[in-house]
Structure 1
Amino acid sequence: MTWFVYMALCADKSIYTGITTNVQRRFNEHKKGTGAKYTRAKQIIKIIYKEEHPDRGSALRREMEIKKWGREKKLKLANSR
C-alpha cells in the first residue's frame, strides 16, 4: 500500500506534518475537526507538500525527519516541487 508524507499550512502560519494513505481524505478530516488534535486547534488551510512512500515504515521515518526541521527548511522543501 502506498503511503504519503504531507505538510499542511495552518491559519497561524505553522506547518503540520503527517502521514496517510489518502491525502485528500486526511485533509478533509483535518478541516472537519476529526483529524489530529494539533490541526483542530490551528485550523488547517491547505496542503503545501506531499511525497509518496512504498510503505508505512518509510513514511514514518521521513515524517520524523521532517518534524525535526525548522520552518525555513520545510518551506524550502515545499517550494522545491
Structure 2
Amino acid sequence: MYTVYVLHSLVYDKIYIGYTGNLANRLLSHNELSTKGWTVRYRPWDLLYQEEYTSKEEALRRERELKSAQGRVFIRGLLV
C-alpha cells in the first residue's frame, strides 16, 4: 500500500504533499529525523489529509493532482 499525504505547518502556514510506502516512518522523518531539506525549515508538521492506493503509479498520479492548482484549492479548503 502507498499513502498520498498532505502535511500542514501551522506555524508557517506551509503545505507539503508527498507519497510513501510507510507513513509513520515518513512523518517521523519530516518532524524529527531529517537534518536537511525543505520540510526541516517549517517544523512541526501535522498530518492534514491522506489517501491510500494499492500501486505506486496510482499514488504518484494522485500526488501530482494534489500539487496542481485545483489540488491546492482542494487542500486549502480543508483548512477552513
Structure 1 residue 15: deviation in Å?
A: 0.8
Mapped contact 2:30–2:45 kept (Cα < 8 A): no
- Post-superposition offset of 1:23: 1.1
Structure 1 unmatched ranges of 5 or more:
none
Unpaired stretches in structure 2, ≥5 consecutive residues: none
Q: Which amino acid aligns with 1:34?
A: S
Aligned-residue RMSD, C-alpha: 2.2
SS in 1 for 2:48: strand
Provide the C-alpha distance between the structure 2 equivalents of 1:28 and 1:64, rounded to a whole number of angstroms: 23
Whole-angstrom distance in 2 between the partners of 1:27 and 1:61: 21
Provide runs of 4+ in structure 1 moved above 6 Å.
none
Partner of 2:69: 69
Residue of structure 1 equivalent to 2:43: 43
Q: Are the aligned partners of 1:26 and 1:35 in contact in 2 as well (CA < 8 Å)? A: no
For normalisation by structure 2, the TM-score amounts to: 0.80
Aligned length: 77
* Mapped partners of 2:44, 2:56: distance in 1: 23
Q: Given the superposition, is the C-alpha separation of residues 25 and 56 from structure 1 closer, same or farther in structure 2, using an over 3 Å criterion?
A: same
Letter in 1 for 2:64: M
